[in-house]
Amino acid sequence: MARKTRQVETRMVSEYLKLNYSKHPFIIGQPLGKVNEQLAAQEGVARAIRITRPFRPECDAVVIMPRYLLIIEAKVWNIVNGLAKLPVYKALVPHTPELKQYLPREIIMQLVVGWSNDNLDIMAQDMGVEVKIYSPQWLSEVVEGLHKYWTPEYQEKRQKTLEMREYFGVE
């Protein structure tokens, strides 16, 4: 069965990490923040961490550098939302049990985007966030495809595809 969605930001952060930080340990999809102490006492810390994972905010990646922790958020869509999340994530890092062994270290925030603009750069600088551009060819194709999605030609082609899927019983 063909995938109906693309994991664009997941691919983006994975490639970016491999290209820029392959010599350093990193964690992808790191939950951040406290784990309930009462739950940890009842269930044990490791189990409490697993139980609370769905309820803790998650950054795209944490890179463990010799002198600092780098928290990364990658965004293709809703870029300002990614920028806004990073200071919140930074505040949670010191309370994250999975990262305690790497503290105290400076915490640096990094937003990875396919493109930027002056306003994003102004906001990021004010918030203490590094903006890094990572724009591989496949990302340009994804963005271009989204712009085509709303054209009458694409809508017609999509409708025909859906009809064929239904006709052949393909989900």
Tell me which residue has tokens 């906001």. Answer: 123
User: What's the pLDDT score for residue 159?
Assistant: 87
Q: Averaged in consecutive runs of 10 residues, what is the pLDDT profile of the chain (171 residues)?
A: 62 95 96 90 88 91 97 93 97 95 96 93 97 88 68 83 87 71
Question: What class, spelled out in words, does domain 8-133 have in CATH?
Answer: alpha beta
Residue 118 CB neighbours (<10 A):
7
pTM of the model: 0.79
User: What's the pLDDT score for residue 1?
Assistant: 40
Spell out the SS3 assignment of 23-57: CCCEEEEEECCCCCHHHHHHHCHHHHHHHHHHHCC
User: What's the pLDDT score for residue 118?
Assistant: 94
Residue 49 CB neighbours (<10 A):
18
User: What's the pLDDT score for residue 22?
Assistant: 95
User: What's the pLDDT score for residue 144?
Assistant: 72
User: What's the pLDDT score for residue 115?
Assistant: 87
Cα angle vertex 131, ends 13, 112, to 5°?
A: 10
User: What's the pLDDT score for residue 149?
Assistant: 66
Q: Strand 129-133's sheet: what is its strand order?
A: 26-31, 58-64, 68-75, 106-113, 129-133
Hey, what are 146's tokens?
Answer: 């989204």
User: What's the pLDDT score for residue 4?
Assistant: 47
> What are the extents of the domains in the chain?
8-133, 136-171
